[in-house]
Structure 1
Amino acid sequence: MSENGNGAQQTQPQIKMQVLAQYIRDLSFENILSQKGASGEVQPDVQVQVNLDAKKRPIDHQFEVVTKLNLTSKVKGGTETLFIMELEYAGVFHIEGVPEDQLHPFLLIECPRMLFPFLRRIVSDVTRDGGFPPLNLENIDFLQLYRTEMANRTKEQETQPN
């Protein structure tokens, strides 16, 4: 709470956030190594691409947030692909009390942050069940990801002819 000029108290709106559902929207895992047949020990080099999407649902205060992961594992120092994994993991959120100008960053930073431990577990299980050591993803800095995306969009708008 803060005071305004006449001594009266102003209350900040209380933010309510509830995860209503979370689910795998799409999942693909391709074990290219076993299809080709490989022998000996291989050192993997894993590339991770992350994309986020959020949209308003028809019900008041409900939003769907989707984290899209593309993982490609190649032989370290080579070009031979070991596996490819694509995962879209979604959450349905009930959100109230977030000011309109802060809703976009809230949806693309806080919501994926809440879902990340579950997404990490799925990646670990699928890579293990796919015949590889379980892949334990590093934490993703969703704030930095958001800032980078906004900076890229600003650059694109500046380079577009009017």
Structure 2
Amino acid sequence: MSDTPENGAATPPQQPQITSRILAQYIRDMSFENILAQKGVTGDAQPEIQVQVNLDARKRKQKDQYEVITKLNITSKTKEKSEPLFMLELEYAGVFQVEGVPEEQMHPYLLIECPRMTFPFLRRIVSDVTRDGGFPPLNLDTIDFLALYRSELARRAESEKVAKEKAN
């Protein structure tokens, strides 16, 4: 019996089956400051919200396990006078079992696919915390983790280029 089908074409090699599952999720660190309640704001408090997202991933001691952390820094200020309303800092971690991803593709997989899986839970926490803090619930827009990853690669390439130019 040969590996070629009846039409004589060779069978392509099988791609490894990628399996990924979330083993645990948890809040690593969180801080919410209701500045409006502490200091008060004069006039109409139309909010302007800024969201900064950072990602971090690391291999764990256990085979094929990784911890991926999504870090959010959310600030809300009044549009008119830029007076702060609230600040939310949140680090949300997921522990993943990832198998079948080639080593050269592991970094983008961890920083794109894994945060996508935990994002709905992170979004719920942000909504609940802002609501419980006395504000309308903040429902985050979906984050494009692929675009975030690409912009970080471009930023790193640019900073390396600047560093090389300074060295010469």
Deviations 1:70-112 (A, max 9, x none): 0000001322000000000000000000011110000000000
26, 43, 47: which one pairs with 2:46?
Answer: 43
Q: Give the match's secondary structure for 2:93.
A: strand
Moved more, 71-80 or 101-110: 71-80
Does 2:117 match 1:124?
no
Higher mean alpha-carbon deviation, 112-121 vs 74-83, is at 74-83
Report the equivalent of 1:23: 26
Distance 1:103 1:43 in 2: 42
> Pairwise mapping of residues 13-162 of structure 1 onto structure 2 (< 5 A)?
13-38=16-41, 41-161=44-164
TM-score by length of 2: 0.90
In our comparison, the structure showing a higher alpha carbon Rg is: 2
CA spacing shift, 1:104–1:90, aligned 2, 3 Å:
same
Question: In terms of mean alpha carbon deviation, does 58-67 or 37-46 score higher?
Answer: 37-46
Give the secondary structure class of the aligned counterpart of 2:17. coil
Supply the distance in 1 between the matched residues of 2:59 and 2:133 (Cα, whole angstroms): 35
**Distance across 2 between alignment mates of 1:157 and 1:61:** 31
The 2-side partners of 1:78 and 1:94 are apart by: 47
Contact 2:41 2:83 in 1 (8 A): no
**Aligned residue-pair number:** 159
Instruction: Kindly report structure 1 stretches of 4+ aligned residues shifted beyond 2 Å.
Output: 37-41
Distance 1:63 1:7 in 2: 37
Distance 2:94 2:80 in 1: 37
C-alpha deviation, 1:158, in angstroms: 1.3
Instruction: Please list the CA deviations of residues 47-71 of structure 1 after superposition, one character each: whole Å capped at 9, or x if unmatched.
Output: 0000000000011100000000000
Q: C-alpha displacement at 1:6, in angstroms?
A: 6.1
Secondary structure of the corresponding residue to residue 150 of structure 1? helix
| 1:10 aligned counterpart, secondary structure | coil
SS at match of 1:49: strand
The amino acid of 1:16's aligned partner reads: T
Letter in 2 for 1:157: E
Give % identity: 65
Q: Structure 2 unaligned segments of length 5 or more: list them.
A: none
CA distance in 2, matches of 1:71, 1:160: 30
1:73 is aligned with what amino acid? S
